[in-house]
Copies of this chain bind each other. A is one copy, B any other.
Amino acid sequence: MALRIALRQKYVFLGLLSSSGNHGRVATVLVSQMRNNATSPNIKVDFNQSTGVAVLSMQSPPVNSLSLDLLTELCINLEKLEMDRACRGLIITSNQPKVFSAGLDILEMYGKSPERCGEFWRAVQEMWLKMYGSNMVTIAAINGSSPAGGCLLSLTCDYRIMVDNPRYSIGLNETLLGIVAPFWFKETMANTVGHRNTEMALELGLLYSPSEALKIGLVDQLVPQDQLLTTATETMKKWLAIPDHARQITKSMMRKPTLDKLTSNREADIQNFVSFITKDSIQKSLRMYLEMLKKRKA
């Protein structure tokens, strides 16, 4: 059973990636990646006491899909870093090749009980609230494709640097799967690229190449792969030169209205998600999507 799930899981996220056109290549790499990860943690944190900067790497094979487990682990690590006054900056990146994060794990939404779906959604909310409201300077070092929830995770950061590889893509492409980005995904994107870009992107489920993403402001900077972490580190220095209290109050002023909308509607948002995702028609959409992926694979 575990194996079957693992296989289906792989299909799912390769499927997501395949919409950016590099299905075959990634698949080959990922299968080899999956072999010796049984005991490795899903998240690796390197905290540099002297700079006050932590680098958090997602390493959940094959494609850092945001399962309940990974989200929980992510939130625990974020909370630890947030409470450590020595930690002022966070760089978030991926240890998986060619992907930053493939987004929310579809298998957490397909064939699950309403209770389990609700538990999963609460974890997605928690991740967003912790990241978008973080007092730390947060920089996304996007070293691969970043669809759906992976894009959301990037959008919660203060700054986004992406590897300039046209094979990678980024965007909130939920409609392609027949599902819908909730209002707080939408607001996070609109706060970044404006209302009209968000309307087009969400209705069409657009995935942007790095250069397109830069053009509309979905990412802030493109760099070659081998300069990603040094650029993120240099950028962090610039942000940390600002007095923390002034930067934090300013960040809160910019983001609190958006954060408050979810905080004050959290249970309703969960109910809304659960009743939507457990609909027969939506489950059917997800099943058809999963089956399409299996066929593609076969």
Residue numbers of A with Cβ under 8 A of B are 158-159, 174-181, 183, 186, 190-196, 198-200, 202-205, 217, 220, 238-239, 242-243, 245-247, 249-251, 253-255, 281, 285
Contacts and interface: CB of A to CB of B under 8 A. Distances in A.
B254 A180 contact: no
B178 A245 contact: yes
Nearest to A242: B175
Contacts of A191: 195-196, 199
**Lowest 6 A-B CB distances belong to which pairs?**
A175-B246, A178-B243, A199-B254, A180-B249, A191-B195, A202-B250
A200 B139 CA distance: 13
Given A191-B196, A196-B192, A254 B203 contact: yes
A191 B198 CA distance: 10
B204 A242 contact: yes
Given A250-B181, A253-B186, A254-B186, A158 B245 contact: no
Contacts of A242: 175-176, 203-205
B246 A198 contact: no
A247 B196 contact: no
7 contacts: A175-B246, A175-B247, A176-B242, A183-B253, A202-B250, A202-B253, A205-B242
Contacts of A159: 200
A249 B175 CA distance: 10
A180 B203 CA distance: 32
B249 A204 contact: no
A196 B217 contact: yes
A120 B199 CA distance: 30
B243 A203 contact: no
Nearest to A183: B253
Nearest to A281: B245
A275 B158 CA distance: 28
A290 to B, nearest CB: 15
Contacts of A174: 246
Which residue, A200, A281, A285, has most C-beta atoms of chain B within 10 A?
A200
Q: Specify which of A175, A192, A250 lies most central, judged by the most chain B CB atoms within 10 Å of its CB.
A: A250
Given A191-B196, A196-B217, 8 more contacts: A175-B242, A175-B243, A178-B246, A186-B253, A191-B195, A191-B199, A203-B251, A245-B281
